[in-house]
Structure 1
Amino acid sequence: MALLEDVRPLGTELERSYEVYVRGRLKFRVQQIVYVAFSLDETVMGFAFPREERAALVAGEPHKFQMPPAADMRFNWVHADLAALHPAEARELIVDAWRMVVPLKVSRAYDLANPDGPG
């Protein structure tokens, strides 16, 4: 069971990433691009994910993952139930979302510094 406390440090440790609060919701950004956002009650994590792969992700584990609301379907976005995720799985999803919004050289540098993946 993942909690916000399990993943929050990662969002500020990743290069170019910073946290903001928008209408009371914690979000992680690179420049102005949001790649992870948490619900007000911190039980749902929305994260960047390739549009063409999200239907398979949701269909494969519907107890963990949900499609975003209709208004957000145009974005590369998926929702996850934090309680259904293992902390390591949640950290991996955050790093993968971050990879979508940073230059390739930045994500490669992360891989060299973290050969075993996110803590």
Structure 2
Amino acid sequence: MTRDEMREIALSFPGAEEGVSYGRPAFKVNGKFFTRLRAEDDSVVLVDVPFDEREMLMEAEPQTFHFTAHYKDYPSVLARLEPLHAGSFRAFLERRFRRIAKKSVVKAWEATQPTSSPGSSGGPIGL
């Protein structure tokens, strides 16, 4: 995935906007952290990823998924941009969007999704 594709996907969610988180460029929804691109390793930060899922992702796709000591105690994973599949990225963001967007926004957005139903995104990867 390219930086432009990453940006396009992140901004495709209702209310998504570019902003700053801890002094770094980031994307937010409803004023809350959504994702960001880490310039230091060209990885995106994906939050709300349970520890067991993170371990599974890193084992299944070590060329894509990793974390640094900073993220060790947080339910998140880093994904290298180049090998990350755009569909997987969108699924991770959908899960985060459903968690942080206003319920009315989520409901309206779901009504526009051809194959989406409430809670249908059980996980981001079809491993």
Specify the TM-score bucket, using the shorter chain as the normaliser.
Answer: 0.7 to 0.9
Give the corresponding residue for 1:29.
28
Q: Secondary structure at the match of 1:94?
A: helix
Runs of 4 or more, structure 1, over 6 Å off, are none
Give the corresponding residue for 2:65.
65
Deviation at 1:108, TM superposition (A): 3.7
Q: For the residues of structure 2 that align with 1:23 and 1:105, how far apart are their CA atoms?
A: 28
Report the aligned-residue RMSD: 2.6
TM (norm. structure 1) is 0.74
Kindly indicate whether the alpha-carbon contact (under 8 Å) linking 1:16 and 1:31 is maintained by their aligned counterparts in 2: yes
Counterparts of residues 40-119 of structure 1 (less than 5 Å): 40=39, 43-52=42-51, 53-67=53-67, 69-116=68-115
Kindly indicate whether the alpha-carbon contact (under 8 Å) linking 2:30 and 2:101 is maintained by their aligned counterparts in 1: no
Q: Which amino acid aligns with 1:50?
A: V
Deviation at 1:84, TM superposition (A): 0.6
Q: For the residues of structure 2 that align with 1:40 and 1:8, how far apart are their CA atoms?
A: 14
Structure 2 portions without partners, runs of 5+: 117-127
Q: How many residues align?
A: 115
Q: For the residues of structure 2 that align with 1:41 and 1:6, how far apart are their CA atoms?
A: 19
Q: For the residues of structure 2 that align with 1:73 and 1:32, how far apart are their CA atoms?
A: 24
Identity %: 20
Q: For the residues of structure 2 that align with 1:74 and 1:33, how far apart are their CA atoms?
A: 20
Kindly indicate whether the alpha-carbon contact (under 8 Å) linking 1:36 and 1:45 is maintained by their aligned counterparts in 2: yes
More helix by share: 1
Closer, same or farther in 2 for the Cα pair 1:44/1:85, shift >3 Å?
Answer: same
TM (norm. structure 2) is 0.70
Q: For the residues of structure 2 that align with 1:9 and 1:112, how far apart are their CA atoms?
A: 21
